[in-house]
Structure 1
């Protein structure tokens, strides 16, 4: 049977500061610019989670989208929405919360809860023009 991709879109709001503590303030400012604001700044993140796999002949689903929404709420939204990623989350206390790192963290939080037979990809839009995509690097 051929494979099909299903998608679930969600959004969350979070603040962060891009900063490398091994660098001085001048280097951080040069590399991260206004994203290095010591008082943080926020984004309205748009998240797209895609699962690819065969359609189950009994249910007609690749995966139950309601169950996927519940999983995303538990593993991502409840954890990151309306949070300061640097201060309020364990994942980003030492990991720079770039869009790239956030996408990888989200993928790693979702992957263990999904059937291994399904391919998982995450797209995270930080702004309307800037977004990243991660599929586990396989």
Structure 2
């Protein structure tokens, strides 16, 4: 029988502030590129972590949802919620755009999900606002 892949998505929420700025540019260049986002501001983010895998015969699960939630909370949410993104350890040295945030979250989660939960990270999707949504599928996609 052919193995079937199932995708599972967990939604988490966090609030954080940031400043969009490139330290290698002049203040004028930063203002021209980032506009009002050069000022400190915040968002109430909605983050969707999608994993994929085969359904285990023993449990009927792709992975344990409770464990998935714990891993995301400890690895990501506890580090981001009510923080200044420009100073979060895994965001240091990067422009704190939501594009870079998606990639950084992927980098933080990919190996731990494989090793601890035996599932593969498929997508990191972050809603910065209801109109601005960012997705990252890793380098292979």
Shorter-chain TM band? over 0.9
**Which residue pairs with 2:31 in the alignment?**
29
**Residue 128 (structure 1) aligns with:** 130
Distance 2:13 2:49 in 1: 11
- Kindly report the root-mean-square deviation, in angstroms, between the aligned alpha carbons of the 2 structures: 1.2
The Cα shift of 1:117 comes to 5.3
Aligned counterparts, 1:54-133, within 5 A: 54-87=54-87, 89-115=88-114, 118-133=120-135
| TM-score normalised to structure 2 length | 0.91
CA distance in 2, matches of 1:128, 1:98: 16
Q: Distance in 1 between matches of 2:81 and 2:34?
A: 23
Q: Any unmatched runs of 5+ in structure 2?
A: none
Unaligned runs of 5+ in 1: none
Match for residue 5 of structure 1? Answer: 7
TM-score in terms of structure 1 length? 0.93
Larger proportion of helix: 2
Deviations 1:42-90, CA, capped at 9 Å, x for gaps: 0001000001111111110001111110001001111010001113x12
18, 21, 33: which one pairs with 1:19?
A: 21
Give the 3-state SS of the residue equivalent to 1:43 in structure 2: strand
